Structure formats: C-alpha cells, structure tokens
Amino acid sequence: MKGLMTLEELKAEVSEGSIDTVLVCQVDMQSRLMGKRFHADFFIDSAWEETHSCNYLLATDFEMETVGGYRSTSWAAGYGDYTMKPDLTTLRRVPWLEGTAMVLCDVLDHHGHEDVPHSPRAILKKQLERLDQMGMSAMMASELEFFLFNTSYTECQRAGYRDMELAGTYNEDYHIFQTTKEEDVMRSIRNGLHGAGIPVECSKGEACAGQEEINILYADALTSADNHVIVKNGCKEIAWSKGKSLTFLAKWDTDKAGSSSHIHQSLWNKNRTESLFYDSGAEYGMSPLMRSYLAGLLSHASEITCFLAPFINSYKRFQSGTFAPTRAIWSPDNRTAGYRLCAEDTKSVRVECRVGGSDLNPYLAYAALIAAGINGIENQLELEPAFQGDAYHGEDLREIPGTLRAAISALDASDMLRSAFGDQVIDHYVHAASWEQKEFDRVVTDWEIARGFERA
C-alpha cells in the first residue's frame, strides 16, 4: 500500500533528499511510541539492523516514573539496555512530518536477543503463534474514539485542564454539518494516515460535542495493533500541528460520554481466505468454533478486563445509558451488551468487544481476548443463550468489574492468563496496575476538596 516502503525504497528517497529522518519506535506499556530519531543516512547504514533503548521503558508509569518492585529491571540492576529490532514490514513514510519515515521494533533481551516476554508486541505474537499451531489466524480491528479541542496542548496544561474549548458545541453522532467544522483536523488525519500506509475507512462524529471516531480497515491482528498505536500518535501530532489538542482518555469529563476502543475479532484459516466463525446452516451463522471462542471470552471476562481497561479512569466510563457496557454478556446487534454479535448470518460474522476504552494498549487487549477465546475452543465451552433486551437493567447478569482494584484481583488470580502469558508477564502487569491504584489512593483529588473543604 502507498506509504509503506522497503529498505531499498527508503535508500532511494534518502539519496534523493526527500527523507532525512527515521523514527525508530517501540511501544511501551501505555501504548505510546518510544524511541529515537535517526539521521536517515545512519539508519540505512547500520541502525536498520538494530539499536538500543533503556529497559526502564517497559517499567514506568505515565509520568515516566522509575517504579520500584519490578523483577525485570531496577536501580539495583542498573537499568541496562534492551535491543530494538526494526520490523521492516512496518517501515513507512510519515506524511505529516517533513522528510520523515517510521519503523516499529520488536524489543529483545540485550544479551540473548530473545523477545522480552513482557513487551506488548511479544505478548500478542505469542498468542498468534498459538493460533498458528492450531491452523488459525486472527483478524481484528479497533474503533478509536477521542475528543477534539480547539485549545492547544500547551494552553490546556497551563489552564490545569479546565475550561477547555471543545471543537463542537452539540451532539454530533453521524452529523455531517457539525463534523464539517472539524474537517481541518479530521481530513488531515484521514489523509495523513492513508499516506502512511494505514487503510482508513472513515471518520465520523460521535455521541458528544467534539467527539470523533476513526475507523481502520480490518486486518490481521498484529498489523491492526501496529496501526492502532500509529493512529493514536498520528492523531495527536496532527492536532498539535494545527494548534489544537485531542485526548484518548477513556472518560475526560463526568458529564460527557466516555471514549471507547471497540474491538472486532474473528478467526480465519492460516492464509485468511475463509472465516472459521461462519456456518451458513447455524443459528446467527455462528460456527461451533465461534460459539466456543465467544464462550471463552465470557467465561474469562473479568480476568481480561485489566487489559481492556488498564487505568483508574477507565472504569469511570462504565455507566448505564451511555453506550458503554456494564454487563459482560453477548447479544446479537445490541449496543447495550459487552460483547455484541455483528454481521449475523453473513461471512463477516464477528464478535465486537465493547468493553475496552480508548486508553487500552491494543497488543495487550488483543492478546487477552485471543487467549480467552483459545481457552474456550480448547475446552469446547458451551455458549450461554443470547441476551435479549436492555442489558443495563437485566437481572442476574455477569458484571464487568467496576474498579481497577477488582480487575487487578481477577487478573492476578487468572490461571488461564498465567498459563497463556506466563507468570512473569502477569506479575509484571499486576504490578503496573497496582502502582496506578496505589498512586490514586495517595493523591488528594479536586473532587474531595470541592466536596469537603467547607462542609467537612
């Protein structure tokens, strides 16, 4: 696709002078791009093979705090290096940055050059290898929502993230005229991503003023996760370049809708020519394999939530009547359910997980969903009957964990995920989530002061 390039094509463009900088990136636990800007001449001379980064990049929080207690790295261990190994299949132009290309990297141990087991890309690749051994591949897509502001990032920060001006003034879900007012940013995002080799389907207004959604073409799971992190970074950079800002925070305002990252998923044969989820003679067109896969998602719904909703704020999104789910049940074409059956009775039949917020790490979320689905297939789990009606008010329905604390407990106790990911990986992410909880428990919030300053 236009935008993607080979190393030889990069060499030609460097020789012509059209590219002079290469971003060499890895993905951290928070799904941010971390890495270095190489002069293109040095990259094509040697750095295309490998470079290095500090191993603290997979053991910090949002503030880049060197959190203690990780087995993988510490002050006592000296915070050594990881090896960043460029995956040249991800090499691409970055149209919104002058003279710039980008490549994503796998993260390897500096000594043995093995995959770092808790690196997000390695976690997903491990689950995809399990599927490959079963003769299957995963197709996935994540719909990303965000809020767009006319206020710049610098202005937002200086104002303490108060009184920020949204790009819209009223509900703009599917609204053409309102989104026309935001086209200076959204058109640049669509065209910029397309020019970077990311197949954009469309953008649309979402359920609140200033809320947008960007949809990327269904793809194999690894490509989809790679696209996801580039999309997030690109959207921010393009908004910044226009003096505006946007946020992928799952719930940026108490009175506004949350922002989601719905994940569509299905299993196909190895060469992705036939959906293994489709059975023309079955109810809803769902094959027995699909039914077991979905049963696995539901059976382990609480355990995987921490990878779908990784932060304190993530859980503020789960509110009745907001199109964010509160119940981990399945239902055909029902947006009140945590797991929605889409395209029933067609070859495109698939599961849409509606639990995840726009703050998730796609590699971790995809891997957790696949692991749960594999467990359902291996154990031939029986799918419960489909729910009908309003899941927000249904009785005796499986609930999505309501807090990060509850999700951490479910993750820590998950035999399924410990078997799929390894104890070391689960302990690493339990520690990361526990640090977020501990920091929130420590900090005094504006809400507490406003509520109790005079009344206490």
Q: How confident is the model at residue 110 (pLDDT cuts 50, 70, 90)?
A: confident
Per-residue HEC secondary structure of the chain comes to: CCCECCHHHHHHHHHHCCCCEEEEEEECCCCCEEEEEEEHHHHHHHHCCCEEEEHHHHCECCCCCECCCCCCCCCCCCCCEEEEEECHHHCEECCCCCCEEEEEEEEEECCCCCECCCCHHHHHHHHHHHHHHCCEEEEEEEEEEEEEECCCHHHHHHCCCCCCCECCCCCCCCCHHHHHCCHHHHHHHHHHHHHCCCCEEEEEECCCCCEEEEEECCEEHHHHHHHHHHHHHHHHHHHHHCCCEEECCCCCCCCCCCCEEEEEEEEEECCCCCECCECCCCHHHECHHHHHHHHHHHHCHHHHHHHHCCCHHHHHHCCCCCCCCCECCEEECCCCCCEEEECCCCCCCEEEECCCECCCCHHHHHHHHHHHHHHHHHCCCCCCCCCCCCHHHCCCCCECCCCHHHHHHHHHCCHHHHHHHCHHHHHHHHHHHHHHHHHHHHCCCHHHHHHHCCCC
Distance CA 387, CA 294 (A): 13
Task: Count CB neighbours of 373 within 10 A.
Answer: 28
Q: What percent of the chain has pLDDT over 70?
A: 100
Q: How confident is the model at residue 111 (pLDDT cuts 50, 70, 90)?
A: confident
Distance CA 335, CA 324 (A): 8
426-435 confidence digits (pLDDT tens)? 999 999 999 9
pLDDT (mean) for 287-294: 98
Of 200, 351, 368, 391, the closest CA to residue 266 belongs to 351
pLDDT (mean) for 203-210: 93
Whole-number pLDDT of residue 66 = 92
377-428 confidence digits (pLDDT tens)? 999 999 999 999 999 998 899 999 999 999 999 999 999 999 999 999 999 9
Whole-number pLDDT of residue 112 = 80
pLDDT (mean) for 207-216: 94
233-267 confidence digits (pLDDT tens)? 999 999 999 999 999 999 999 999 999 999 999 99
Record the tokens describing residue 164, joined without a space: 């920020």
Whole-number pLDDT of residue 1 = 59
Q: What percent of the chain has pLDDT over 90?
A: 95
Q: How confident is the model at residue 35 (pLDDT cuts 50, 70, 90)?
A: very high
Domains observed in the chain: 7-118 (3.10.20.70), 127-447 (3.30.590.10)
Residue 139 has pLDDT above 80, yes or no: yes
| Phi, psi (deg, nearest 5) at residue 146 | -160, 165
Residue 328 has pLDDT above 70, yes or no: yes
Task: Let me know if 446 is exposed, middle or buried by CB neighbors in 10 A (0-12, 13-18, 19+).
Answer: exposed
pLDDT (mean) for 112-128: 96
Whole-number pLDDT of residue 371 = 98
Residue 53 has pLDDT above 90, yes or no: yes
Whole-number pLDDT of residue 292 = 98
**Mean pLDDT, the chain, integer:** 96
